[in-house]
Amino acid sequence: MLYRGTPDHSDGPKGSLVPVAGKRLIDAIQEKIDRLRPAAVEKGSCVSVSVAEVADFALADVFGVRYRGLSAGKRSFLRLPFRIESFGVPRMDVQVNGEYARVEATTAKALLELVPAEVSKQAPASAPQGPGVTLNQYGKGQALYCAAPLFSAYYAEGPAMLRRLALWMLSVVHPEGRRTIVLESTPPNVEVFYSERGKDRFVHLVNYSGDKRETGPSQSQECVRVHGIRVRANVPARPKRVVSVPENESIPCEWHDGWIRFAAHPLGIHAAYMIEG
């Protein structure tokens, strides 16, 4: 579950005994619900790609879907009837390994269909089984749901196509105009971490030239330097300066209308910058 911003459980009848582990799980689920629901209602956006979490379906009204159960199969496909040019995703069936949820849309709009794998060939079936990715308007926010375990499949195996799909989903529900930091002219293998400490802000760029799989051998590649990355960060007050960390080299920058802009040095493995408040 990924969320931005800040989108009913019951402990049971009076006098009932709840195991400590179960109570912790219930508390963790309720904490997630308490975080996600206000974000979706007020202004935020949330994305769920978890197929078996109770919290997902305690938030069924937020996601606009009805849960029908888990699949018996361990593989599914997200069917793209169109090309996503900006993320380099062709019109195709994208394989996602792992159990998937069977859902139906209530108030949500289906963006992609979920296609099960044929038992004999493990290839995509001709007919979809239901919604694969949905988008729902809830309050002043939006919530996107993916019935397939896209993120866990990506971290387990590392296929670039799943990463591109994840980036597309986040752009749908949380476009650049609503973000606090935007990278321009940046390939999808570069990740950014944006944090604050007092009045200072830190931008950490990481170039994942290999994959991020958790199991099996890593598909390491040569680390190619990335040129031309431009950083645009929302900073309400004019900062003093931007410096590279730890070199403390001053970086040319400009601030206008609450946004600071600067060009990053060619990126090797990683680089960090401080926006001094």
> Any idea where the domains of the chain sit in the sequence?
2-155, 181-276
What is the DSSP secondary structure assignment for residue 247, as one 8-state letter?
Answer: T
Please tell me the distance from the alpha carbon of residue 15 to that of residue 11, in angstroms, as a whole number. 10
Evaluate if residue 244 carries a pLDDT over 90.
yes
Nearest to 167 by CA among 99, 271, 89: 89
Q: Name the nearest CA neighbour of 26 among 45, 42, 11, 13.
A: 11
> Does the pLDDT of residue 237 top 80, yes or no?
yes
Most confident of 17-21, 42-46, 194-198: 194-198
* DSSP of 169-186: HHHHHS-GGG-SEEEES-
- Give me the mean pLDDT over the 7-36 stretch: 42
> Averaged over 74-79, what is the pLDDT?
93
Residue whose pair of structure tokens reads 């950083």 in the numeric block: 231
Phi, psi (deg, nearest 5) at residue 65: -130, 160
**Local structure of 116: helix, strand or coil:** strand
Q: Which of 207, 102, 200, 216 is closest to 156 using CA atoms? A: 216
Averaged pLDDT of the chain = 79
Predicted pLDDT at 151: 84
pLDDT in tens, 142-197: 888 899 998 888 878 777 888 889 889 988 888 888 889 999 998 888 889 999 99
The residue that leads in pLDDT, 121 or 186, is 186
Three-state secondary-structure class, residue 30: helix
Residue 11 pLDDT exceeds 60: no
pLDDT value at residue 179: 87
- ∠ CA(77), CA(83), CA(89), 5° rounding? 65
Amino acid symbol at 23: K
Pick the CATH number of 181-276 from 2.60.40.1180, 3.40.50.720, 2.60.40.1190, 1.10.10.10: 2.60.40.1180
* DSSP classification of residue 255: E
